[in-house]
Structure 1
Amino acid sequence: MKITEIVEMLNLKVCSGAQGLENEVNGGYASDLLSDVMGNAQTGNIWITLQTHKNIMAVASLKDLSAVVLVKGLEPDADTVAHSNEERIPILSTNSDAFTIIGQLYELLKER
């Protein structure tokens, strides 16, 4: 499933990294600990977090993640946006909490 499909189906806001909206998603990972994501997220995962600082893009790039979803209406910092655009890894935002968006993503991805 492509990021564009997920954005449309879940009504997510694209904050940055629009060049990566065609990235394929093969699963997801939810954590707010960068070290946890570095150790356990898989290439092609979509990452759900409440972290907004530029280090999330360093981790997303290192792990070759498809996108980052910020919960609770959070928005990325300006330097995070710049890094997202450079890496072509979208940062998306939802007003939902992590529990809700994770369940919705799970339902979408299990059907594929």
Structure 2
Amino acid sequence: MTVKALQEQLGWTAFHMAGPDRQVTGAYAGDLLSWVMGRAGQDCAWLTIMSNQNVAAVALMADVACVVLTEGVRPDEDLLRRAREKKVNLLGAGEDTYTAACRLHDCLK
């Protein structure tokens, strides 16, 4: 499933859509950036409540398909700027992380 199809199906907010056709093959939920760098799978959707500019750097290093800010978190200005500069797909979900992960899982089946 593409990032755009996922965003539309789940009704999530698109804060920045740099590569809407990128395939999402899995998911990872985590907020400790160093942990995410070593464990998030390539092409996954990364669910987090972190909203600072370091999220864009970790998303690039981990080569995730998109970042999903959960719990209604909105990106700060620096993260939004970095997502645009680095072409990181950045979405937002109003649900808590567990619910967002369950809904994402159902979409990827």
Calculate the TM-score normalised by the size of structure 2: 0.96
C-alpha contact (below 8 Å) 2:38/2:62 kept by paired residues = no
Q: What's the secondary structure of 2:75's corresponding residue? A: coil
Gaps of 5+ in 2: none
Q: What's the secondary structure of 2:45's corresponding residue? A: strand
Compute the displacement of 1:73 (Å): 1.0
Residue 24 of structure 2 is matched in structure 1 by: 25
Residue 46 of structure 1 is matched in structure 2 by: 45
Residue 60 of structure 1 is matched in structure 2 by: 59
Distance in structure 1 (CA, Å) of the matches to 2:45 and 2:94: 17
Compute the displacement of 1:22 (Å): 1.4
Gaps of 5+ in 1: none
Aligned residues: 109
Compute the displacement of 1:19 (Å): 2.2
Among all aligned residue pairs of Structure 1 and Structure 2, give the percentage whose two residues are the same amino acid. Answer: 34
1:1-112 alignment, distance < 5 Å: 1-16=1-16, 18-110=17-109
Letter of the structure 2 residue corresponding to residue 44 of structure 1: D
Cα RMSD after superposing both structures? 0.8
Letter of the structure 2 residue corresponding to residue 8 of structure 1: E
Distance in structure 2 (CA, Å) of the matches to 1:47 and 1:89: 11
